[in-house]
Amino acid sequence: MRKKIVAANWKMHKIVAEARSYIQSLLVELGDETDVDVVLVPPFTLLQLCSEMVGESPAVKIGAQNMHPAMSGAFTGEISPQMLRDLFVRYVVVGHSERRALFGESDHFVGEKVRAAHEASLRPILCVGEKLEERAADRVHEVIDRQLAGGLEGIGPKEMQETIIAYEPVWAIGTGHNATPSQAQDVHSHIRAVIARLFDQATADRVRIQYGGSVKPDNAAELLRQPDIDGALVGGASLDPRSFAAIVKAARDAKA
């Protein structure tokens, strides 16, 4: 059984006071929930506060939204894996479609980040997903295969098992149009088959694959009941602690 993992991607939202009251509410909402891995992914400016506030909470871990693959150096404006570790960050999102589209990140660069994350003992959440025109042109598998090949290049089965994949169809992000459970399940099972081909079946069976793209409390349960959907990467609906907690509870209760 793969443990479900639900992450809150705050993107470029929230300042200190907002984060403080959010975490207070979330910890109350979640109580001692430990059946689901819960990851808060705030902007860099809030990582330290969030780490301190969740402290030893067994329920909630902290992730970053991005990082540079180098451990240090002349990269003005960037943040290194080592800096994240220093703030007790455990996860890092890499290759989000907004980074790919708005900041020109290539599959190769995303792969460098995945390798750097493992070197620093951070768990990467590698995002993949097709654009609407790619789906319309029946190119979903081709796009996913290319993103997985680039993103997973040079890692071994052990690192693969510690990598989380997030399938996020670009047309579903922030649009209110989530993939249907069967559309998502189709791609998730394809992703697992690709991992089995690149590594081996036992590894593929252990990798957790999140769905992301307009996940809300009212559609989460059905998505999370699909056999290859092992969690959610939540943007908009994660900004409110009650709605995010409702999605975590849906993950806890989901039986494939």
Residues contributing to the site for ligand PGA (CB under 6 A): 9, 168, 173-174, 212-215, 233-237
Cα angle 57, 60, 65; round to 5: 140
Cβ closer to ligand PGA: 69 or 212? 212
Cβ closer to ligand PGA: 120 or 125? 125
Q: How far is the CB of 44 from ligand PGA (least distance, A)?
A: 17
Cβ closer to ligand PGA: 148 or 223? 223
Using an 8 Å Cβ cutoff, are 6 and 30 in contact? no
Q: How far is the CB of 250 from ligand PGA (least distance, A)?
A: 14
Q: How far is the CB of 241 from ligand PGA (least distance, A)?
A: 15
How far apart, in whole angstroms, are the C-alpha atoms of residue 38 and residue 32?
11
Quick check: helix, strand or coil at residue 93?
Answer: strand
Q: How far is the CB of 95 from ligand PGA (least distance, A)?
A: 11
Cβ closer to ligand PGA: 152 or 233? 233
How far apart, in whole angstroms, are the C-alpha atoms of residue 215 and residue 167?
12
Per-residue DSSP letter, 176: S
How far apart, in whole angstroms, are the C-alpha atoms of residue 86 and residue 122?
11
Using an 8 Å Cβ cutoff, are 26 and 246 in contact? no
Q: How far is the CB of 212 from ligand PGA (least distance, A)?
A: 4
Bridge partners of 189, per DSSP, are none
131: Cβ contacts below 8 Å, ≥ 6 apart? 143, 170, 171
- Helix count and strand count (H, E) for the chain: 12, 8
**Which residue is at the shortest CB distance from ligand PGA?**
235
227: Cβ contacts below 8 Å, ≥ 6 apart? 185, 189, 256
Bridge partners of 164, per DSSP, are 125, 208
255: Cβ contacts below 8 Å, ≥ 6 apart? 225
How far apart, in whole angstroms, are the C-alpha atoms of residue 157 and residue 75?
31
Cβ closer to ligand PGA: 95 or 236? 236
Q: How far is the CB of 237 from ligand PGA (least distance, A)?
A: 6
Cβ closer to ligand PGA: 50 or 215? 215
Active centre residues (catalytic): 96, 168
